[in-house]
Structure formats: structure tokens, C-alpha cells
Amino acid sequence: MNAPIPSGAVREPLRGGGPGAGQHTVRRHNLALVLREVAGPEPVSRAAVAARTGLTRGTVSSLVEELIAAGLVTELAAARGTTGRPASPLRLDPTGPAGLGVEIGVDAVGACVVDLTGAVRAQRVVHSHHRDDVPATGLATAEALAAEVVAEAGLAIAGAAVALPGVVGADGVLVRAPNLPRWVDVAVGDELGNRLGLAVQAGNEADLAALAELWSGGPPNAVHVSGGIGVGAGIVLGGRLFRGAGGRAGEIGHVVVAPDGPPCSCGGRGCLETAAGLEALLRASGTPDLESLVTASPPDVLAAAGRALGVALAGAVNLLDVPAVVLGGIYPRCGAVLLDAVRAELAARVVSRPAVDVRFSALGPDAALRGAATAVVHELLADPAIHTAAARA
């Protein structure tokens, strides 16, 4: 079994040793430095890694051997036709340790395995209704689904992360989720970890979807909105997730867009979720589910939702000075009417910038699930020493 990443909330990857770092820390830092070069889009030789990092050839070779032994890096066949000793290009090992992602939503559970190169190796999503059920039911479904994708992928699992539709504390506890009234102060990370025999980190689904967008080439400064039964946002500033003082930033679904509007699951009134959440759209359109809503595409309903999103997002853009807004979750299914309404509202209300790039996410509804699995891989790539030490032991 591989070394698990400690339990807790999903974290930003570590960034090497600080000032006064000892020899052990220097090696740890250099391992990460070498792995970052190998993780680029093209295979690289040891010589190229040495040239790019400023490390000696001998140091690079020793670090590469350690990374190969831990299953993180693999050597391709030597290039022919070169003079002297042929260079064997290096790349991340797609058969190496992988990340397990789990998502427990209001009415679905998903699990996926992402390998070191970022490729999805197995993924499954099933309907599972948790609104009125005790957490144990949802956790059991998640456990079973996770076991299925792990078996299907056939890779060693380095760690896991679970995406949740609510406020997640730094200790991996789901503090509350307005649409899951029975899930209050549930240690989802630990509970799932015990069931799976792995360390499981927990994160907010909108945050993980925003990271997935960023990691797939999305804008480094953006508000990423995930639409579903709840509406959440992940705020990315300077290429990093902005979490707020307590890790709870991004509750855009409970930003008020109509002070005297309908009651909301949070106890307030007129929140964005009551105007642009999935259930509000179904109610307003008289359709039973997302597929029927997409088929009917009632322009008045979708335009109203887009205007409400635009009002809330204009506030966010004026406050944060972000140049881009990415609409994910169910919103890409809602089409141009919704998108145009968001754009018009932002154009009319944003005073902090001349223009805002508003686009649909290309990742689809599984962005948070992918983000959860990829977060594990990113943490491993950013600090491979945890893994190589375990491989040596």
C-alpha cells in the first residue's frame, strides 16, 4: 500500500523547502523540482532536467532513480541516431500511484480514478438521494462506488479526496450543507477514510470544480460558478484558490439578488439559488428534471436565471476585479439565452473593469469529481518525498 496523504481539507500543494532548510528538506525540494520538469507536456532527458533546474547531472540521476523506484517516473526507450550515450527520455508513469476522487452530491454519488498524467482511468456516477437520508446511506454508496472504480483502474491509490455540497472545515468535517439537512458536522473525510482504508481529504464541490477548470487550462483569475440544486462558486486569484479566512468563501448561491424574494434553503430570502438553482428553474418552467428543462429551453425562465446570476456576479466582479467568469455544472446545458443574459447584466453593472470574459465550462457536470481526484495527484507531484520515502521503507 502506498503512503496516504494525511486526512483533512484539500490543500494547495506544498512548494518546496523554506529558508534554513536542512539537507533532507533540500532533497525533498529538489525531488519536487525534478518531478515538475518531468511532468511537462513532452518527455525530457536527464540532461535537459539538469539544464533547466541548475542541478548537477549526478544529483538529477540520483533523484530520478528515486522517482522511478517509487513508480512516479518511467523511462522511455532511448532515442536512436544520437551520438554518444543515448538519452532515455523520462515522463510521468501512467501505471504509478493514482488519485481517487469521490463526490457526494444532493442526489448523486460519483467516484473516479485519475492517474499521474491526469488521465481519467475509471469513473462512475449514480443517482442517490441524500436530502432526507442519514449520512450513513450516502457514505455506504460512496464506499461501494469507490471500490468499483479502484478495482476497474487497477492502480495503487495514493490518496483520496471527496467533494461535498456545503461548508467544509479545515479538518475535513462537513459543517453544514443547506440541501442536506441531516448532514451536520459530519466527519466525511474520516468516515470515508475508515471505510476505504485510505486517508481522505474533503473539499467543497465548487472549489474543486474551480481547481479542475484551472488545471485544465482555465483562466488564473476567475469566479467559477457551479450550478446544480445548490449554486456555489470557487474563486481563483493569481492561479490559486481563494478560500477566505475560514475556507468558506464562494457561497454565491446565498448572495441575495431579491431581498423580498422566495425563502431559501439557508433560511434567508431571495438568494441566488432561489432564482438560478436547478429546483427554481424546474419550478418556474414546470419541467420535472434537467433533461426536460434542456429540451423545453423556456427562454423567459433561462433569461431570468441569467439576469439573477449576472446581478450576483457583477457584485463579485466589482468586489474582486476578476476578468473572467466561468459557468459550470448545469449552466452549459442551458445555452445561449442564459449566457447572453449573464453577459448583458455584467456589461450593465460592472464598473471595476472595462470587460468581463463570461464563458461556459468545458468540463461538464463531473468537474468537481475530476477536481477531487486531480487534487490528490497534484499534491503528490508537488511533494513526492512523502511517497518516495514510503516506497523506500
Q: Considering the rule CB under 5 A, would residue 271 count as an interface residue with Zn ion?
A: yes
Which of 48, 64, 252, 264 is the binder for Zn ion (CB under 5 A)? 264
Q: How far apart are CA 226 and CA 123, in angstroms?
A: 20
Among 266, 284, 324, 337, binds Zn ion (CB under 5 A): 266
Indicate the residue among 266 and 389 with the shorter CB distance to Zn ion. 266
Question: Which lies closer to Zn ion via its Cβ, residue 109 or residue 174?
Answer: 174
Of 8-16, 210-218, 269-277, 315-323, which segment contacts Zn ion by CB under 5 A?
269-277
Pick one of 94, 268, 315, 323: the residue that binds Zn ion (CB under 5 A).
Answer: 268
Minimum CB distance to Zn ion, residue 273 (Å): 5
Instruction: Please state the closest distance from residue 197 (CB atom) to Zn ion, in A.
Output: 37
| Closer residue to Zn ion, CB minimum distance, 195 or 248 | 248
User: Site mask, Zn ion, residues 238-257, x = CB under 5 A?
Assistant: ----------------x---
Report 331-360 residues binding Zn ion (CB under 5 A).
Answer: none
Minimal distance, residue 179 CB to Zn ion, in Å = 10
Shortest CB 267 distance to Zn ion, Å = 7
* Listed ranges 148-156, 161-169, 260-268, 276-284: which one lies at the site for Zn ion (CB under 5 A): 260-268
- From the list 60, 2, 70, 8, the residue with the least C-alpha distance to 31 is 60
CB of 184 to Zn ion, least distance (A): 16
Q: How far is the CB of 252 from Zn ion (least distance, A)?
A: 10
| Total residues interacting with Zn ion, rule: CB under 5 A | 5
C-beta of 51 vs 256, nearer to Zn ion: 256
3-class secondary structure for the chain?
CCCCCCCEECCCCCCCCCCCCCHHHHHHHHHHHHHHHHCCCCCECHHHHHHHHCCCHHHHHHHHHHHHHCCCEEECCCCCCCCCCCCCCEEECCCCCEEEEEEECCCEEEEEEECCCCCEEEEEEEECCCCCCCHHHHHHHHHHHHHHHHHHHCCCEEEEEEEECCEECCCCCEEECCCCCCCCCECHHHHHHHHHCCCEEEEEHHHHHHHHHHHCCCCCCEEEEEECCCEEEEEEECCEEECCCCCCCCCHHHCECCCCCCECCCCCECECHHHHCHHHHHHHHCCCCHHHHHHHCCHHHHHHHHHHHHHHHHHHHHHHCCCEEEEEECHHHHHHHHHHHHHHHHHHHCCCCCCCEEEECCCHHHHHHHHHHHHHHHHHHHCCHHHHHHHHC
Give me the least distance between CB of 234 and Zn ion, in Å please: 18
When asked if residue 261 is in the footprint of Zn ion (CB under 5 A), the reply is: no
- Minimum separation from the CB atom of position 177 to Zn ion (A): 12
258 binds Zn ion (CB under 5 A): no
Per CB under 5 A, residues contacting Zn ion are 254, 264, 266, 268, 271
